[in-house]
Amino acid sequence: MKRTHTAAATLAAAALVMAATGCSSGGSASTSTGGGNAGGSDAAASLHLPNLKGQKIQVAAVWTGAEQKNFLKVTARFDQLTGASTTFVPTGDNVSTFLGSKIQGGGQPDVAFLPQPGVLQQFAKAGWLKPVDSTVKDQLAKNYTPGWRTLGAYKGTQYGVYYKAANKSLVWYNTAAWQQAGLSKAPASWADLLKDGQTLSDSGTTPFSIGGGDGWTLTDWFENIYLSQAGATKYDQLTKHQIKWTDTSVAKALTTLAQLFGKPTLMAGGARGALQTDFPTSVDQTFAKSPKAAMVFEGDFAATNIAQETTAKVGTDAKAFPFPAVGSGQAPVVSGGDVAVALKNTKGAQALLRYLASVDGAETGIKQGGFLSPNKAAPLSTYTNSVERTIAQNLISAGDGFRFDMSDQSPAAFGGTKGQGEWKDLQDFLAKPSDVAGAQRKLEADAAKAYANAG
Amino acid sequence: MTTLQSAPATAALSPAPPARRSPGLLKRLAGRSTGGLVRLGLLIIALFWMVPTLGLLVSSLRKPLDIQASGWWSIFTAPASLTLHNYTSLLANPAISRSVANSIMITVPATLLVVIIGALAAYIFAWVEFPGRDVVFLIVVGLLVVPIQVALIPVTDLFAKVGIFGSIASVVLFHVAFGLPFAIFLLRNFFAQIPQELLEAARLDGAGELRLFTRVVLPLGGPAIASLAIFQFLWVWNDMLVALIFANSSAAPLTVALTEQTRQFGTNIDVLSSGAFLSMIIPLVVFFAFQRQFVSGLTAGALK
Amino acid sequence: MTEVLTAKPPATGGSTPADDRPAARSRRGWITALFLLPALVLLGALVVYPIGWTVVRSLFGAQGFTHFVGLSNYGSVFSDHQTLTAIKNNAIWVVVAPTIATGLGLIFAVMTERIRFATAFKLVIFMPMAISMLAAGIIFRLVYDQDPTKGVANAVAVGIHDTFSSASHYPGAHPRPINHQLTGPAAGPFTTPPLAVSSRPVNLPLVGATPDDLKGASQAAGPRSCPGGHLCGTVWMDFKPGGGTPNAIDPGEKGLSGLRVNLLSGTKVIAHATTSKDGTYTLPAPATSGPVRVQLAASNFTAPYAGVNWLGPTLVTWSIIGSYIWMWTGFAMVLIAAGLAGIPRELMEAARVDGANEWQVFRRITVPALAPVLGVVLVTLMINVLKVFDLVYIIAPGASQQSANVLALQLYLSSFGGGNNQGIGSALGLLLLVLVLPAMYVNIRRFRKENAR
């Protein structure tokens, strides 16, 4: 499951590094400070939230630990505004399985956070989701760009509110290993990235740590390359399966990926080792005391793993640079996020969605730290430190220039299930990167089946 | 079957009675000296068998960073600090502590109900004649092998219609239903051995069926009921699949709460190892306290 | 099963109604119904009815009872490669796991027979029966971890391997990709082009030696003196932070000591040397006048043994079966031990008196006498194995989950995960039921036979 697992440290570090590598688009936001709290209350008043005294609302999401604690603050604020009592239900690893069995038994929560638009579409098609009411739509129209809005819709009906976002185009690196190899500048292109990789290899440190045990990290590799190389139009077409996976653009992207996957010496443990490495381990081993690799690619949320599972300090021992441009394309910006949907047609569920889509809801989330909001109307001044603010501004100013994670938008059977579909096919490709055509055939066969079932 | 009649199943774990002390096969095979060899072999096998559990235990007592850094066996060469930290933080997690309570609230009723309902039915099958009795009993015996997976989907549907899906009751009912064939089978066979004269005497004294059941059959059936209870207890306590499907999070037992911790986002082997060990404590206590009943139940009901 | 349990065969016609007056009879009828009702209601609603429901449901599509699809769910079950893998794996499970568990159980039971203090041993072997498949799964995920510093199975495998072939000095070290002095496959050996013996040192630059391997290495140096006709040179790590000048021994670049350097004539090794602390080596003067080549042997560079790929696609099913055997051998052992204790000693003694040796006694008397028990154990384990789910679900990593697939898991995945197709799920459930039917038949038949007695 791809999750937006942002911790405060994450955004901080990512922003730091991106600023250092010339990626930030200015810090004008930092001039507008203060007023977050007062503005929030005003916004809350204009929301006209109903009185829900005595009503119980259940919210389910995959979050645990600090993320869960932070979100509880948001629901507490909602309870304070409405008088409802909201409880949180952790769904565990596989959200769609968890909710699927609950819904069939009629024991579903009021609101759930889905980590993938693909699941949203599957659920919407099955008739399990309740459309948002007009007051939620009003909030969405005011506060969200069309790009983020349509991600929460199915066949023209709005079902979801994107509450939390993630940036999946970052490469984290071990600063000590880089120094040892004499590297100092973030690679500007894929070719540079491979060249730096070779330099690192020459210096005695394996360049890349790949968490191929979790199929989704491989889909993220592919998506960044594909978005940059083939462009946004093709990316959208492939996302909707309007072009086939046997398309030459896919072949080109896989061939590019094979420049890395085909060189066992560039990956910690070789291909076999990579396939046995889950995502957390791939991060941990990059920042361990004697690191097994110098770089690991993944979203801002990797900082959580660095902070919690290694002794490395984010920002000094561990830094990140944006995923470089491939070929003549632009550097990719692939994002992820959690979408809130109503599973029951209750007043409480709609009110909560309205609140989550509101400025006050976004601000409350932002104030807890480690949170990136796609809400464009939330004042950037709410971010508690300048680095988080910089990243947030990047996201907001990107407008609709970003692309949402492709596999997250596919039917779950293709892009979101352990051991199946794209996850499995790219794992097979990692094991045998010479067989581009074979991988394409398998991807297309699985995609055709999954898209046909999903309609 | 006649060959085994003299074998009290409960003796399986204990050394053979001295009365039949004829030399064992292997000892005879190569004389007394090999006895030592066999013992050595057994010791090695036993150690080998214990290594996996030991690994879990040691891991659960190590700090998360230590687990990342080295194997659990390194505590033998470099005795590092062991800590109960994983356990304290695990129990501080409200989801886990609630799930322990849920496990108990599921397991105890599921065990009691199986014993009571199973004993009632077994008594009838053993001692009361009614038309079609044998056919019904054979069907019950046949149901012993039905995989629970077959029933998951339809029962989900059924519970949803009744409105108990997600509750502790739904998990309990499912466990009771699937525990019944074994319970009836085991108890019926045991009850059938009660001397007929005892029952007849009681009947002549004017005792009704209920009285017969509570005053004669239940006390005499003690050992079999104990075996059954232990078995059902362990089965329900250790179940993951049934609860995974039927229990919602407020009703989830420990096993399900732990699978919810096996998220892909974080190598939380610290949580998993301590949680797994926590989940093993009660079964192990039950097992060591009641191993005789466990074994006799096992030998009696190997069908399950 | 009954043969193990019963002290005497249960008498079926146990009821002798003492009171045949109609009123009493009808009261007894009521009580009979009352006693049976809870059990029959539960069994009917939650076991029997679901079977019928499943049969019907399997004829409808994913959308529900509105979409009749006939037998097409069965068609897709038997054409789906995932299900076919599951069936194949279930076949492996059913054949391998019960056989090995029973075999080991038999061996352990015989070994512990008549040995005092065997109770402790049996408890150790038997203990895993008491814990959940989930806990066992977590235990074995730890055991099979690929990383030899975490998984005990690979720690042992690597330990054994390294005892028989010593680790190389510089795994992963290699010449720069464009290198005119040294060429060879990725893992070595690296060989120079043919060269004439001259006083010029043959320096061999390498890169990619890890910082750990270079701990304690000293500054590389050019060969100080080269006796006439000898071949000398330096092997060094041609890299320092920042890169350094390629092919030149820069200050700060370390010599690679302890490397084996071969002198080749054609493909034959005619001499060899080992590099010293500063990376220098000296090869004796070649006897031939023809061109020779200098080679860095592959043994210098072999990657450390990474252990067995326990949870890779090839071995994953077998590894999980291993964990199952760990759990269930105790079961087999205890049942067989109970059977063993029941064999009449007189039979064996008589055979021995007749001059049979122990093997013959075992083959002709013990095993036949145990046959019913062995049969019960095997059948029980087979039924159990067909339903295996938790172990596979927990132990198999994502990349090999499909390779480890079994029917129960496939049923769960297709009904509740990803696809949410209850039609397919029902068809799979029915398939599972059909597979255990023979066992059901065996049970019923055995039971009737016993009752008939």
Three-state SS at A280: helix
Quote the pLDDT of residue C5: 36
Give residue limits of the domains in chain A: 27-167+336-404, 170-332+414-454
Q: Which two tokens stand for residue C438?
A: 């023979």
Chain A interface test: which of C142, C145, C239 (most A C-beta within 10 Å): C239
Chain C residues with beta carbon closer than 8 angstroms to that of B15: 114-119
- C112 neighbors B42 (Cβ within 8 angstroms): yes
d(CA A362, CA A291): 38
d(CA A430, CA C139): 28
Kindly list the partner chains of chain C, i.e. chains with 3 or more CB atom pairs below 8 Å: A, B
CA dist C437 to A127, B145, C310, Å? Answer: 38, 8, 33
Residue type, C155: A
A276/C146 touch (CB, cutoff 8 Å), yes or no = yes
Q: Prior bond to C189 cis, omega within 30?
A: yes
b/e string for B266-294 if b means 16 or more Cβ within 10 A? Answer: bbbbbbbbbbbbbbbebbeebbeebbbbb
Q: Which backbone phi and psi does C233 adopt, to 5 degrees?
A: 170, -175
Three-state SS at C234: strand
pLDDT (tens digit, 0 to 9) for every residue of chain B, 304 residues total? 333 333 334 444 444 444 444 445 554 555 555 567 778 888 899 999 999 999 888 888 888 777 777 788 888 877 667 888 888 888 887 778 889 999 999 999 999 999 999 999 998 888 888 888 888 888 888 888 888 888 888 898 888 888 888 889 999 999 999 999 989 988 888 888 788 788 778 777 777 777 777 777 888 888 888 888 888 998 899 898 899 888 877 788 998 888 776 654 445 677 788 888 888 888 888 888 887 777 776 666 543 3
Residue (of A99, A268, A238, A98) closest to A174 by Cα position: A268
**B95-300, what's its fold?**
MetI-like fold (1.10.3720)
- C234 neighbors C297 (Cβ within 8 angstroms): no
Q: How many CB atoms lie within 10 A of CB B95?
A: 18
Q: Which two tokens stand for residue A360?
A: 């006050």
Q: Which two tokens stand for residue B132?
A: 């079609």
d(CA A234, CA A326): 15
Residue pLDDT, tens place only, C290-314: 788 888 888 888 877 878 888 888 8
Residue (of C42, C291, C306) closest to C153 by Cα position: C306
The class of domain A170-332+414-454 in CATH terms is: alpha beta
d(CA A200, CA A190): 15
Chain C residues with beta carbon closer than 8 angstroms to that of B280: 130-132, 135
Residue pLDDT, tens place only, B10-54: 444 444 444 444 445 554 555 555 567 778 888 899 999 999 999
Residue type, C253: E
Q: What angle do CA A135, A138, A144 make, to 5 degrees?
A: 130
C236 vs chain B: nearest CA distance in angstroms? 31
* Long-range pairs, B36-40, Cβ under 8 A, ≥24: B38/C111, B38/C115, B39/C115
Alpha carbons within 13 angstroms on the beta-carbon side of residue A255 total 11
Say if A107 is an interface residue toward chain C (CB within 8 Å): no
d(CA B216, CA C339): 31
Chain C interface test: which of A122, A183, A196, A202 (most C C-beta within 10 Å): A202
Quote the pLDDT of residue B298: 65
DSSP string, A410-440: S-HHHHSSTTSHHHHHHHHHHH-TT-HHHHH
Instruction: Read off the pLDDT of each residue in C428-432 and give the average, rounded to a whole number.
Output: 90
Find the closest chain B residue to C359 by CA distance: B29
Residue pLDDT, tens place only, C195-240: 876 667 888 888 888 877 888 788 888 777 777 778 888 888 888 8
b/e string for C280-314 if b means 16 or more Cβ within 10 A? Answer: bbbbeebeeeeebbbbbbeebbbeebbbbbbbbbe
Give residue limits of the domains in chain C: 55-150+310-452, 168-303
| ipTM score of complex | 0.82
A62/B245 touch (CB, cutoff 8 Å), yes or no = no
Handedness of CA C56, C61, C65, C69 (dihedral sign): negative
Find the closest chain A residue to C244 by CA distance: A182
Q: How many CB atoms lie within 10 A of CB A265?
A: 16
Q: How many CB atoms lie within 10 A of CB C7?
A: 13
d(CA B154, CA B146): 14
- B172 neighbors B110 (Cβ within 8 angstroms): yes
Chain B residues with beta carbon closer than 8 angstroms to that of A288: 68-69
CATH of domain A27-167+336-404: 3.40.190.10
Which of B246, B263, B267 is facing A281, going by the closest CB pair? B267
Residues in chain B, overall count: 304
b/e string for A19-54 if b means 16 or more Cβ within 10 A? Answer: bebebbeeeebeeeeeebeebbeebbeebebbebee
Residue type, C17: P
b/e string for B55-93 if b means 16 or more Cβ within 10 A? Answer: bbbbbbbbebebbbbebbebbeeeeeeeeeebbeebeeb
Q: Which backbone phi and psi does C111 adopt, to 5 degrees?
A: -60, -40
Parallel/antiparallel/unpaired status of strands C231-237 and C280-283: antiparallel
b/e string for C322-340 if b means 16 or more Cβ within 10 A? Answer: bbbbbbbbbbbbbbbbbbb
DSSP string, C43-98: HIIIIIHHHHHHHHHTTB-TT-TT-B-TTHHHHHHHH-HHHHHHHHHHHHHHHHHH
Q: What's the pTM value of the predicted model, to 2 decimals?
A: 0.80
Quote the pLDDT of residue A267: 92
Mean pLDDT of chain C: 82
Residue (of C140, C435, A452, C97) closest to B56 by Cα position: C140
B42/C112 touch (CB, cutoff 8 Å), yes or no = yes
Three-state SS at A216: helix
Q: Which two tokens stand for residue C383?
A: 């039924």
Quote the pLDDT of residue A239: 92
Alpha carbons within 13 angstroms on the beta-carbon side of residue A9 total 17
C10/B189 touch (CB, cutoff 8 Å), yes or no = yes
A305 vs chain B: nearest CA distance in angstroms? 7
CA dihedral B244, B249, B250, B253 (to 10 degrees): 40
Residue (of A437, A436, A432, A412) closest to A423 by Cα position: A412
pLDDT (tens digit, 0 to 9) for every residue of chain A, 455 residues total? 444 333 344 444 444 444 444 343 333 333 333 333 434 455 566 777 888 888 899 999 887 766 788 899 999 999 999 999 998 887 766 677 778 777 877 778 999 999 888 788 888 988 899 999 999 999 999 999 998 998 899 999 999 999 998 888 889 999 999 988 888 888 999 999 999 999 898 888 999 999 988 888 999 999 999 999 999 999 999 999 999 999 999 999 999 999 999 988 899 888 888 888 888 888 888 998 888 899 999 887 787 778 777 888 877 888 888 889 998 888 888 888 899 999 999 999 999 999 999 999 999 998 887 788 999 898 988 887 665 676 677 778 777 778 899 988 888 788 877 778 899 899 999 999 999 999 999 999 999 988 887 66
b/e string for A190-202 if b means 16 or more Cβ within 10 A? Answer: beebbebbbbbbb
In A244-384 the beta strands, taken as DSSP E runs, fall at 295-297, 318-322, 334-342
CATH of domain C55-150+310-452: 1.10.3720.10
A:B CB pairs within 8 Å: 79
b/e string for A117-127 if b means 16 or more Cβ within 10 A? Answer: bbbbbbbbebe
